[in-house]
């Protein structure tokens, strides 16, 4: 990434539902170098929302969370400990941000202790950074969009796994595909 940019961490949550009162049940992150962590989250007191349709999608039963999940505050502390100096990205930052905020607040952290932005922004940034200086400034926006389209970022056809680690890794793979294609084009232009 470069000394002036924090390293990326690709993040994903699974949740109890998509309702307003939903809560995070699983979180995972994958660093640029492929290191990763995933945690089932034992619900905090008062986290009662549960949708059986959501359970059918992610396949995580509430009793599994109660039995095998890590306490919500332990997961939140771990996230703050290892992610505070990273640029956090997610494919659905409004949803994932909602669940990140709920987890942080339930553990006593300010809701903006960690912030997410859209993975597609990170993809555009890496393509633009690699193509700057070799593509004419008037053509760089079109070239970046071409890289995104070519690598399948904008018109994704794959179905998410609906498990946090698999989905976070898929986001990392997409970002790497954009990075690699932009680097290939940069080498051709030099």
Residues 110-143 have pLDDT tens digits of 989 999 999 999 999 999 999 999 999 999 999 9
Distance (Å) of CA 62 to CA 53, 69, 105, 159: 13, 10, 21, 24
The contacts of residue 149 (CB under 8 Å, 6+ apart) are: 155
29: nearest Cα among 84, 67, 70: 84
What integer pLDDT is reported at residue 1 of this predicted model? 45
The contacts of residue 165 (CB under 8 Å, 6+ apart) are: 12, 28, 30, 36, 38
pLDDT in tens, 69-106: 999 999 999 999 999 999 999 999 999 999 999 999 99
What integer pLDDT is reported at residue 175 of this predicted model? 95
Mean local confidence (pLDDT), 156-185: 88
Domain ranges in the chain?
8-117, 119-189
What integer pLDDT is reported at residue 158 of this predicted model? 61
pLDDT class of 2 with cuts at 50, 70, 90: very low
Q: Name the percent of the chain lying above pLDDT 90.
A: 87
Answer whether residue 157 shows pLDDT above 60. no
What integer pLDDT is reported at residue 6 of this predicted model? 76
Q: What does the alpha-carbon distance between residue 11 and residue 77 come to, in Å, rounded to a whole number?
A: 16
**What architecture is the 8-117 domain classified under in CATH?**
2-Layer Sandwich (3.30)
pTM higher than 0.85: yes
Helix or strand or coil: residue 116?
Answer: strand
Mean pLDDT (the chain, rounded): 92
Sign of the Cα pseudo-torsion (148, 151, 154, 160, in order)? negative
- List of E strands, the chain: 8-15, 24-31, 36-42, 70-71, 87-90, 116-118
């Amino acid at each position: 990434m470069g000394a002036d940019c924090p390293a990326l961490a690709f993040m994903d949550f699974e949740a109890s539902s998509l309702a307003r009162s939903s809560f995070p049940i699983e979180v995972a992150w994958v660093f640029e170098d492929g290191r990763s962590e995933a945690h089932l989250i034992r619900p905090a007191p008062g986290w009662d929302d549960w949708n059986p349709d959501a359970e059918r999608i992610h396949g995580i039963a509430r009793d599994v969370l109660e039995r095998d999940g890590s306490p919500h505050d332990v997961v939140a502390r771990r996230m703050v400990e290892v992610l505070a100096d990273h640029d956090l990205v997610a494919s659905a930052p409004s949803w994932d941000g909602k669940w990140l905020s709920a987890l942080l607040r339930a553990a006593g952290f300010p809701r903006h202790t960690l912030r997410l932005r859209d993975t597609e922004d990170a993809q555009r940034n890496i393509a633009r950074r690699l193509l700057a200086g070799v593509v004419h400034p008037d053509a760089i926006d079109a070239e970046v969009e071409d890289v995104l389209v070519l690598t399948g970022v904008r018109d994704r056809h794959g179905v998410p796994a609906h498990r946090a680690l698999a989905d976070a890794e898929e986001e990392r793979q997409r970002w790497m595909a954009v990075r690699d294609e932009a680097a290939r084009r940069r080498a051709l232009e030099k």
